[in-house]
């Protein structure tokens, strides 16, 4: 029997218990803060309490319940433990839908129409073709690459920026530190889909916003720690950014008193851009538990040095 600990400092993870038992009835499941968690061989996590793995001597596998792993490895002693993530093919479609909504929100000037509605003013925003809206994707991995392959078919002018050079049909790709400034200079709607690494932490900052054309917009679906929140507030206040859609935050839930709730032109969404179906999450965790028992290669294991 394998003991699985459901660990989170912000979410009641017990919702996974029946799904995991349906996938593997032999599992012994404990939910934090049950002390039995400390004896578990597998940690199933979202925003793991700080330093917890160091207190788990039998731990053999850390498994995120999402595509990202940054919040399950932060402030932890991994001591070489394998870390796995969830890969759901529908994640990419969900992110595509959310980003397309955000692009349409700014391209079709829905933000301006809503501003007119608030003051009971009938004012028709001037419309422009999709080709005149230059969408820049920061991050061309599984999610960003999927979006990059679909937006050009809708007429948008699409470019991308990634750590290493890539080739995507109908997309102008920039790479590396040298490619960032020219990428930003020709972007009207900036979409952040980067993984969180030491190099990308705080990348959405005053310098990045200043490199965009004045009046550009931001759609942020990466990680909360990418964003320097005070720099975003300043860019919105000054008009350097016309608006932003922000789905991820350094502190979640976003506190009621946080100034981002009231920032001009900012749409706050509650980390809803895309998510794996919970039965898929449970099935992939159970499959990796079986691999662990058999000493077989794990599925969707993360390179912890790179962070993805």
Distance CA 222, CA 162 (A): 13
Note if 271 is an active site residue.
Answer: yes
List the catalytic residue out of 17, 108, 201, 271: 271
List the catalytic residue out of 85, 134, 146, 223: 223
DSSP class of residue 162 equals E
Half-sphere exposure of 120 (CA within 13 A, CB side): 0
> Positive or negative CA dihedral for 231, 214, 196, 165?
negative
> Positive or negative CA dihedral for 255, 256, 259, 264?
positive
Phi then psi for residue 298, to 5 deg, are -85, 150
Distance CA 29, CA 244 (A): 41
Per DSSP bridges, beta strands 83-84 and 28-31 are unpaired
Classified as helix, coil or strand, 136 is strand
Q: Annotated catalytic sites, by residue?
A: 223, 271
């Amino acid at each position: 029997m394998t003991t699985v600990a459901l660990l989170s400092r912000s979410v009641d993870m017990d919702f996974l218990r029946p799904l995991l038992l349906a996938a593997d009835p032999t599992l012994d499941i404990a939910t934090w803060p049950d002390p039995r968690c400390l004896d578990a061989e597998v940690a199933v996590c979202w925003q793991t309490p700080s330093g917890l793995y160091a207190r788990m001597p039998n731990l053999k596998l850390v498994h995120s319940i999402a595509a990202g792993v940054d919040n399950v490895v932060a402030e932890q002693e991994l001591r070489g433990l394998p870390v796995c993530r969830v890969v759901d093919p529908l994640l990419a479609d969900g992110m595509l839908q959310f980003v397309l909504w955000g692009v349409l929100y700014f391209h079709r000037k829905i933000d301006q129409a809503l501003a007119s509605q608030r003051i009971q003013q009938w004012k028709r925003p001037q419309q422009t073709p999709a080709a005149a809206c230059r969408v820049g994707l920061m991050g061309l991995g599984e999610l960003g690459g999927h979006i990059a392959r679909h937006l050009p078919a809708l007429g948008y002018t699409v470019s991308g920026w990634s750590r290493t050079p890539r080739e995507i049909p109908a997309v102008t790709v920039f790479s590396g530190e040298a490619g960032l400034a020219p990428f930003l200079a020709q972007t009207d709607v900036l979409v952040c889909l980067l993984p969180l690494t030491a190099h990308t932490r705080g990348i959405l900052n005053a310098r990045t916003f200043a490199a965009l054309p004045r009046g550009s917009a931001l759609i942020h679906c990466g990680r909360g720690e990418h964003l320097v929140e005070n720099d975003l507030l300043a860019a919105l206040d000054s008009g350097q950014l016309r608006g932003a859609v922000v789905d991820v935050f350094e502190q979640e839930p976003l506190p009621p008193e946080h100034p981002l709730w009231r920032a001009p032109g900012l749409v706050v969404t509650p980390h809803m851009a895309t998510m794996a179906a919970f039965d898929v999450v449970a099935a992939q965790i159970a499959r990796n538990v079986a691999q662990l028992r058999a000493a077989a290669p794990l599925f969707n294991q993360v390179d912890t040095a790179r962070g993805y």
